[in-house]
Chains A and B, each alone.
Chain A
Amino acid sequence: MFKEILIRMIQGKRTFKYPKGPAPVLPGKFKGRPYIDSALCDVNCNSCSDACPVDAINSQTKTIDLGNCLFCNDCTDACHSKAIVFTKDYRLSVRDRNDLIIHPEQKEIELAKELNQQMKRIFGRSLTLRQVSAGGCGACEADVNVLGTIGWDLGRFGIKFAASPRHADGLLVTGPVTKNMELALKKTYDAIPEPKIVIVVGACAISGGLYKDHPQANKGVESIIPVDLFIPGCPPNPLTILDGLLRLLGRV
C-alpha cells in the first residue's frame, strides 16, 4: 500500500497540458503534412510517383493524396531535386475526403470543421465511440489506444470507448475493411442509434491504402458506410488523432 503511494508520487502527474498548453514534442524525424515546391520540381520527371508504393502521387498534377499516403519517404528519397518535404505539421484531419489532396505550394490543409450545432449539442461534451478494426495491422489501433493512457487522458474531453455499439454515439474504424469484416462492420454500424458519426483512422481505412487493389479487401470504409472525419497517416501519430477528434467537437 505505502509502496504504491510512494511510487505514484515518484511517477508524478503525467497528463500533457495540450490543448491548453503546448503540444507534446514530436521527434526530429517526424513526418507531417508534405509540402511540394513546384519551383524545384522537374515537370517531366515522374520519379516520385513511380516510387510511391500506393500511387498517392498524381504525376500530371503533382498532387499528393494524404488519404493514400504512407508517409514513408519513398518519394522524398526518389526526388532528385528535393521538391517534396514532409513538414512537422501534425494537423491533418479533414471532413471532406477531397481536402486530403495536397497541391503544389499548399501550406494549409482545409482542416476539419466542427460538427453542426445540433450534433455538437448532443456530442460536444460527451462522445462515446465503438472501435472496429477491419483489417487494421494493429498500429492504428495502438495509437488510438494510447490516447486512453494517462499521458493523453482522452476522458478529460468527454470522449470514451464503449464495449457495445448500442452504447455508442459513433464508430472509429481502422483497416481497409477486409471482405471478411464487411458484414461485421455493417452490423455494428446499424446497431448504433441515430444520430451517429463515423471516424476513420489511417490510410487503409480512408482509401484501402496498400490493400486497395486486393480482392480480399475493400477500398476503405467510405465504400461501405458514410464517413464524417478522416484522420490520415500510417499510422497517424496520437497527436494527429487527438487533434482530429478535438476539431470535430470544436475543442481546438
Chain B
Amino acid sequence: MAAINHTFTPINNTSAIPLEKIPVLAVDDFMQSILKSVQKSHRISSYFGVATDKIDTTLLYVILSDDDENRLFVGRTEITGGSFPSLTALCPQIHLFEREIAEQFGLQPIGHPWLKPVRYTRNKTSPVEPAVGDFYRIDGDQIHEVAVGPVHAGIIEPGHFRFQCNGEKVLHLEIALGFQHRGIEEALIGGPDKKTIHYMETAAGDTTIGHTTTYCQIIEALSHTKKTARAQVLSGIALELERLANHIGDLGALSGDVGFLPTASFCGRIRGDFLNCTGLLCGNRFGRGFIKPSGLGSDIDSTTVDTLLKKIIVLTKETKDAISLLWSNQSVMARFEDTGLLTGQQAIELGVVGVAARASGLSRDARLNHPSGVFRFFQMHTCTVDSGDVFARAYIRWLEIEQSIDFIIKQLTSLPDGSVTPSSNDLDKNCLSVAINEGWRGEICHVAITGENGQFVRYKIVDPSFHNWYALAEAVKNQEISDFPLCNKSFNLSYCGHDL
C-alpha cells in the first residue's frame, strides 16, 4: 500500500514544494498510480496540463486527496506528441479533467468515451460556437428532446441543457457549459499582479471569500508569510458567513421551487441580512476587498463585533423558525424525498464534493479532512445524510447553517488581538503550491506553479462545480422533467466557477 504512494509526492495543504522534488514519472507509471490511488479511495482534486518551452511537450500534474488520512499527493508526467491515455473508462471522476486538457493543450485523450469541448474556447483556426455539436441522443417514436438555454427563465447564469425524454420521464440529460468563459486561467499566467486578486474575487462571485482565501494561502505559502491569528479567525468568520447566506438562500429557493412561499419569502430576506453581515465586516456584501495575502483589507472594531453578534443572534432565531417550517410540512417533504437520487456509489465514482457528497453519505469536508487557517484550531463536524435525494441536500444545508452560526458566535466572542495589515514578500521560484478549502458548495482547490522569476507559469483553479455538474445529470435520470428545477437548485452549481 505504502509503495504506491511513493511514486506520488506527499504535500501539505497550503504549503509549497520545489518542483525538483516532484519526480517526472513515466506516462504508464503515472496513469497506473492514479488508478491505484483512486481504488484506495483517494480523490482527484485537480488534474491539469502545463505548457513547457518545447512545442510538442506538455507536463501533466495531478493532485490526489486522501481524505481518510488527511493527506495530499502531487504527481507529474511528461507528454510528448499529441496524445495521452484516457482513464475515464476506469475512473469516471477524471472525465472532465481530460476533456479540459484536450481543449486547453490540444492533446487527444486516447480512449475517452465522450470527448467534447468543456468551455468551447475559441481559437483562431477553428472557431466553435458553444453547445454546437453532437449530443447524446436516444431515438424512437416515443422519445422527444428538450433543449433549454443558454438564457434561462430566471435571473441566473447561462448554460445549455439537453434532455432526452420519454413522456415526462428524463432518460438522459447532457449539460453543455462554457457560455461564461472569460479566460481567467489564461490571464493569471505571469502574475501575480494588481489584477490577480480581483480575478479570484470574481471567479465565482457568490464564492468570493472561498476563492480569495484559497488564493491568499497559495501566496502566503510561496512567500513565507502568514495571517495573524486575528486575521485567520476573521477570514474564517467571513467564509462561514458566505456559507450561511448561500445555504439559507438555497433553502428559500428550494422552498419556492415546490411552491411553499412562507419559507421562500423569509429566507430570501434573511439571506440578504447575512450578506449585510459580510457588508458590516468589510463594506461589501460579497466580501470583495476583505481577504488579502497575509492580512485583511480592513479590521473591525469592538462596536462592530457587538453589532454583528446582536444581529446574528436575532437572525438565528428567525432562520430557525423559517426553515423549521419545511421539515414539518408534508407537501414540501413529499416533493423533497426520493427526488433527484444520487447514490453514495455514484458520488464516489464521479468524485462529487461538498454538500452533494455529504448528502449521499460521504464524509467529505475540507474543513475536517484538510483543515487550514482557523479550522486547524476549531474542529468542524462533518454532517452527513445517507438518502442522496433533494431532502438530503436540503437537510445538510440546515445542519451546516446551525454549525456555522455556532462557529461565528464562538469566534466573535473570543477574537484574538493583533494586527491584520497585509505584508508582502517575493514568491519562491520554481515551486508548486496547493491550497484546498471547503467553500459553501464544496472543495475549492487552487494550484500554482512558479517559474524562474517567481511568476505564475500556471495557476489552476478547480471550483467544486467542476466536480459536481455531471452528478446533477445523473440525479435527474428517471425523474420527471418537471422536477429538474428542484434537482438543479438542490445542487446549485456555479456556471462561471466552472467556465472561469
Question: Which residues does A use to contact B, with CB under 8 Å?
Answer: 3-4, 7-8, 10-11, 14, 26-31, 51-54, 70-74, 130-146, 148-151, 161, 163-165, 175-176, 178-181, 183-184, 188, 210-211, 214-217, 234-235, 237-238
Look across to chain A and name the residue whose beta carbon is closest to the beta carbon of B267.
A149
Q: How far is the CA of A26 from the CA of B283 in the complex (A)?
A: 9
Whether B181 lies near A7 (C-beta < 8 A) is no
* A-contact bits for B258-274, CB 8 A (1 contact / 0 none): 00001001101101100
Residues on B with beta carbons closer than 8 Å to the beta carbon of A8: 262
CB distance from A204 to the nearest CB of B (A): 8
With A7-B325, A29-B282, A150-B268 known to touch, is A180 a contact of B205 (CB < 8 Å)? no
CB distance from B495 to the nearest CB of A (A): 8
Q: Which of the 9-residue segments B51-59, B150-158, B371-379, B385-393 touches chain A?
A: B150-158
With A133-B158, A140-B205 known to touch, is A181 a contact of B180 (CB < 8 Å)? yes
Whether B150 lies near A181 (C-beta < 8 A) is yes
Quick check: is B353 within 8 A (CB to CB) of the other chain? no
CB distance from A188 to the nearest CB of B (A): 6
Quick check: is B286 within 8 A (CB to CB) of the other chain? yes
Residues on A with beta carbons closer than 8 Å to the beta carbon of B205: 136-142, 235
Whether A150 lies near B289 (C-beta < 8 A) is no
Q: How far is the CA of A184 from the CA of B283 in the complex (A)?
A: 34
| Most interface-central of A135, A137, A146 (chain B CB within 10 A) | A137
Whether B206 lies near A139 (C-beta < 8 A) is yes
Whether A161 lies near B154 (C-beta < 8 A) is yes
Whether B182 lies near A178 (C-beta < 8 A) is yes
Quick check: is B430 within 8 A (CB to CB) of the other chain? no
A133-B158, A139-B208 are known contacts; what are 4 more A-B pairs with Cβ within 8 Å? A138-B206, A139-B205, A146-B275, A181-B180
Quick check: is B168 within 8 A (CB to CB) of the other chain? no
Q: How far is the CA of A130 from the CA of B153 in the complex (A)?
A: 8
Quick check: is B202 within 8 A (CB to CB) of the other chain? yes
Q: How far is the CA of A165 from the CA of B269 in the complex (A)?
A: 27
Q: Can you name 27 A-B residue pairings with CB atoms under 8 Å? A: A11-B266, A11-B322, A28-B283, A29-B279, A29-B282, A31-B284, A52-B194, A53-B194, A70-B198, A74-B194, A131-B155, A135-B182, A138-B494, A139-B206, A141-B155, A146-B272, A151-B268, A178-B181, A179-B122, A180-B120, A180-B129, A211-B182, A214-B187, A216-B121, A216-B183, A235-B285, A238-B272
Look across to chain B and name the residue whose beta carbon is closest to the beta carbon of A141.
B155
* A-contact bits for B452-494, CB 8 A (1 contact / 0 none): 0000000000000000000000000000000000000000001
Residues on A with beta carbons closer than 8 Å to the beta carbon of B203: 137
Contact of B283 among A27, A70, A74, A130 (CB under 8 A): A27
Whether A139 lies near B262 (C-beta < 8 A) is no
Q: Give the interface size class of chain B.
A: 35 or more
Whether B283 lies near A3 (C-beta < 8 A) is no
Q: How far is the CA of A31 from the CA of B119 in the complex (A)?
A: 35
Q: How far is the CA of A150 from the CA of B268 in the complex (A)?
A: 7
Quick check: is B84 within 8 A (CB to CB) of the other chain? no
Q: How far is the CA of A53 from the CA of B276 in the complex (A)?
A: 25
Quick check: is B101 within 8 A (CB to CB) of the other chain? no
Whether B325 lies near A149 (C-beta < 8 A) is no
Q: How far is the CA of A109 from the CA of B105 in the complex (A)?
A: 48
CB distance from A214 to the nearest CB of B (A): 5
Q: How far is the CA of A195 from the CA of B368 in the complex (A)?
A: 56
Quick check: is B195 within 8 A (CB to CB) of the other chain? yes
Residues on B with beta carbons closer than 8 Å to the beta carbon of A134: 158
With A134-B158, A149-B272 known to touch, is A188 a contact of B151 (CB < 8 Å)? yes
Whether A210 lies near B198 (C-beta < 8 A) is yes
Quick check: is B91 within 8 A (CB to CB) of the other chain? no
Q: How far is the CA of A64 from the CA of B262 in the complex (A)?
A: 44
Contact of B268 among A131, A146, A164, A211 (CB under 8 A): A146
Residues on A with beta carbons closer than 8 Å to the beta carbon of B329: 4
Q: How far is the CA of A141 from the CA of B119 in the complex (A)?
A: 21
Quick check: is B233 within 8 A (CB to CB) of the other chain? no
Whether A27 lies near B202 (C-beta < 8 A) is no
Residues on A with beta carbons closer than 8 Å to the beta carbon of B285: 143, 235, 237
Whether B288 lies near A70 (C-beta < 8 A) is yes
With A161-B154, A216-B121 known to touch, is A11 a contact of B321 (CB < 8 Å)? yes
Whether B183 lies near A4 (C-beta < 8 A) is no
Whether B153 lies near A163 (C-beta < 8 A) is yes
Whether A138 lies near B204 (C-beta < 8 A) is yes
